[in-house]
Amino acid sequence: MTKGSINVSVENIFPLIKKFLYSDHEIFLRELISNATDATLKLKHLTNIGEAKVEYGNPKIEVKIDKDAGTLHIIDQGIGMTAEEVEKYINQVAFSGAEEFLNQYKDSAKDSGIIGHFGLGFYSAFMVADQVEIITKSFKDEPAVKWSCDGSPEFTLEETKKAERGTEIILHIAEDSKEFLDEHKIRELLLKYNKFMPIPIQFGMKTETLPLPEDAAEDAKPETIEVENIINNPTPAWTKAPSELTDEDYLNFYRELYPMQFEEPLFWIHLNVDYPFNLSGILFFPRIGNNVNIEKDKIQLYQNQVFVTDEVKGIVPDFLMLLRGVIDSPDIPLNVSRSYLQADGAVKKISQYITKKVADKMASLAKNEREEFEKKWNDIKVVLEYGVVSEEKFAEKSEKFMLFPTVDGKYFTWEELNEKIKDHQTNKDGKLVVLYASHQDQQDAYIQAAQEKGYEVLLLDSPIASHFIQKLEQEKENVTFARVDADHVQNLIKKDEPILSKLSDEQKESLKTSIENSINKQTYTVQLEDLSLSDAPFVITQPEFMRRMKEMQQMGGGGMFGMGNFPEMYNLVVNTNSELANEILNKPEEEKAPLINQALDLAKLSQNLLKGKELTDFVKRSFEMLK
Ligand SMILES: Nc1ncnc2c1ncn2[C@@H]1O[C@H](COP(=O)(O)OP(=O)(O)OP(=O)(O)O)[C@@H](O)[C@H]1O
């Protein structure tokens, strides 16, 4: 037996490891299983190239709990180690890695971003164990050895008996880490980190019911057998070529990934690239609608099929954070802080690649499966609008796939829309005015008025529509958007048409004064307009600019500073050519106010602004009038 002391300058490194990595100490299992996987894959490689003259077979990794002994075992059938290799890889290489890590990050250890994702490898075992043993037999014809270390720099190394090739790591679980002797806990960790690792992982046994033979008697009981409980799927969909997969395979994988999601994804994008970086994965578009909260079931990041995190900010562009799925790349540096990640060249390229793939997929759907794409539009528009607003590269490609739905269920691309409305909706200054509603029911009166004039009205109702519109106006020359209630329909698209007025200037002045005296001037600005006889006498409008800035501010970002808290302000458009205007003018002074108030309430009602006591009073008053 050899006794030795690990060459170490830090007096006792293990308590330090434990302390620094405390918050994330469960990763020890992932690290040890990764090592077992590497050892197995190395053997596969060596047998493939004829370097190892042994049978590769169907190796597995076994995880076992021995409650009585207080130990957790990780057993593989990989290449194993000779005494010399243990000396080299465990006593020297692995240790120097751990030491280097500690020296480098001691001071910044509180930045858990660094610690959490640092592959500390074998020595992370000491986060949960007060003694660790390695029993290993190399695939080479050499005796098995046992290494043992109790967390001090002293270790022992001796020959031992082990018939099969491979390595068994035995963790004597420390008093404060007993939870890792709990089956549920270990199962949970295996499912979290190792669900898609490439070598089968066995954890205990399970009972399987055999199918009954066809000619079985009616009361026959099916037979059951005990089989190894394999917890992972070693060949998940993203590791296969898209040509090998059917739609059903993708849907099955989605269910496997998110067992608690009962709704199917709308479509998916298979990512696969190996130059200039290596990345594979599948992104799913769930039904998003106007719900922009992401709490659970996020995109998961893997490194060679080992789960790393579901915090993918910085790697996946922001607008795609609402998607689900998997990204697997060995090229994403995990041992660095978030701010560094965002500046990393490879990571930037990955983000750009993903953006491009999503844009290409959308363009192909819009071109080849237009009808289906239209049906799904409502569920994905938020993501795409967000993409246009936040990613220049995405915005550049977006004309091919952004759709503009109308209030009556038609969908146009920008080009189609432009073609359709350019003759009728260009104003006297040569600007194309795109009309839209944000709420079909609430703005019905305005929508109807616009449609009566032959205008197309879009329905832009996503929570970020105002940001999206703002962006389009910046990008496109001579285009302006106006919500249908931004002004009286006559003024929405100003044309060079002669305006005739029935009232003289003095009459208008008197009408304006009477109205202003009867209403709340803080909220409503009276605006007299010479409209046609059939146009509504009173209409409430909200100027586009003010309203949009307020909305943008409320949604976060953009908008003008302080606008979010600005009081609501409206214009009260009064049609001077209406019969009602005439009535008001000609009524005796004391009868004007009731008439004006009733008309204002009606206008409010059609803008959904009449609420609470005002509404109750209005209804009462209206009933009185019917008597
Ligand atoms: N189960 C095992 N079978 C064979 N060799 C192993 C096993 N576990 C560890 N080793 C050897 O010990 C070395 C050190 O392992 P350790 O986990 O500390 O670092 P690593 O795997 O090289 O890197 P990382 O820090 O990314 O985990 C490995 O490179 C490998 O040579």
The CATH number given to whatever domain includes residue 446 is 3.40.50
First to last CA, the chain: 110
Whether residue 490 is found in the same domain as residue 526: no
List, in order, residues 6 or more apart from 175 with CB less than 8 Å away.
Answer: 130
Annotation-wise, does 97 bind a ligand?
yes
The ranges of the chain with pLDDT < 70 are 4-23, 93-120, 289-295, 333-343, 498-499, 556-565
Q: Do 164 and 23 contact (CB within 8 A), yes or no?
A: no
Q: Which of helix, strand or coil describes residue 607?
A: coil
Say if 551 falls within a structural domain.
Answer: no
Annotation-wise, does 96 bind a ligand?
yes
What are the helix (H) ranges across 290-369? 338-343, 345-368
Whether residue 479 is found in the same domain as residue 512: no
Within 10 A of 429 (CB to CB), how many other CB atoms are there? Answer: 10
**CA–CA distance, 286 with 380 (Å, rounded to integer):** 8
For residue 371, the 8-state DSSP code is H
Say if 117 falls within a structural domain.
Answer: yes
Q: Is 167 in the pocket of ligand 1 (CB under 6 A)?
A: yes
Between the CA of 240 and the centroid of ligand 1 the distance, in Å, is 27
Say if 407 falls within a structural domain.
Answer: yes
pLDDT at position 14 is 62
Q: Is 94 in the pocket of ligand 1 (CB under 6 A)?
A: yes
Q: Which domain holds residue 186?
A: 2-204
Q: Do 100 and 13 contact (CB within 8 A), yes or no?
A: no
Say if 390 falls within a structural domain.
Answer: no
Q: Cis check for the bond before 276: say yes or no (omega within 30 of 0).
A: yes
Q: Is 122 in the pocket of ligand 1 (CB under 6 A)?
A: yes
**CA–CA distance, 579 with 486 (Å, rounded to integer):** 24
Q: Is 78 in the pocket of ligand 1 (CB under 6 A)?
A: yes
Closest CA to 76 of 119, 27, 43: 43
Q: Which residue's CA lies nearest to atom 13 of ligand 1?
A: 89
Per the structure, how many domains does the chain have?
A: 4
Q: What is the CATH number of the domain that holds 190?
A: 3.30.565.10
Whether residue 56 is found in the same domain as residue 173: yes
For a pLDDT cut of 90, what percent of the chain falls above it? 58
pLDDT at position 10 is 44
Of 74, 77, 89, 135, the one to substitute when testing ligand 1's pocket (max ligand atoms within 8 A of C-beta) is: 89
Whether residue 526 is found in the same domain as residue 490: no
Annotation-wise, does 81 bind a ligand?
yes
Whether residue 446 is found in the same domain as residue 529: no
Say if 387 falls within a structural domain.
Answer: no
pLDDT at position 112 is 41
Say if 395 falls within a structural domain.
Answer: no
Whether residue 47 is found in the same domain as residue 179: yes
* Closest atom of ligand 1 to CA, residue 42: 4
Closest CA to 484 of 529, 525, 527, 439: 439
ipTM over 0.90: yes
Whether residue 39 is found in the same domain as residue 185: yes
Q: Is 121 in the pocket of ligand 1 (CB under 6 A)?
A: yes
The torsion region of residue 470 among left (phi > 0), alpha (psi -120 to 50) and beta comes to alpha
Say if 283 falls within a structural domain.
Answer: yes
**CA–CA distance, 605 with 615 (Å, rounded to integer):** 8
Q: Is 170 in the pocket of ligand 1 (CB under 6 A)?
A: no
Domain stops at, among 497, 518, 552: 497
Q: Do 146 and 46 contact (CB within 8 A), yes or no?
A: no
Between the CA of 86 and the centroid of ligand 1 the distance, in Å, is 10
Say if 514 falls within a structural domain.
Answer: yes
Domain stops at, among 148, 182, 204: 204
Q: Which residue's CA lies nearest to atom 29 of ligand 1?
A: 89
Q: What is the CATH number of the domain that holds 526?
A: 1.20.120.790
Q: Is 41 exposed, middle or buried (0-12, 13-18, 19+ CB in 10 A)?
A: middle
Whether residue 490 is found in the same domain as residue 522: no
Whether residue 514 is found in the same domain as residue 579: yes
List C-alpha distances in Å: 123 to 21, 32, 119, 153. 11, 9, 10, 12
pLDDT at position 110 is 45
Between the CA of 350 and the centroid of ligand 1 the distance, in Å, is 28
Whether residue 626 is found in the same domain as residue 479: no
Q: What is the CATH number of the domain that holds 258?
A: 3.30.230.80
Q: Which residue's CA lies nearest to atom 25 of ligand 1?
A: 121
Q: What share of the chain is helix, strand, coil (3-state, %, to 5)?
A: 45, 20, 35
Whether residue 44 is found in the same domain as residue 109: yes
Whether residue 583 is found in the same domain as residue 517: yes
pLDDT at position 151 is 75
Q: Which residue's CA lies nearest to atom 23 of ligand 1?
A: 121
Average pLDDT along the chain? 87
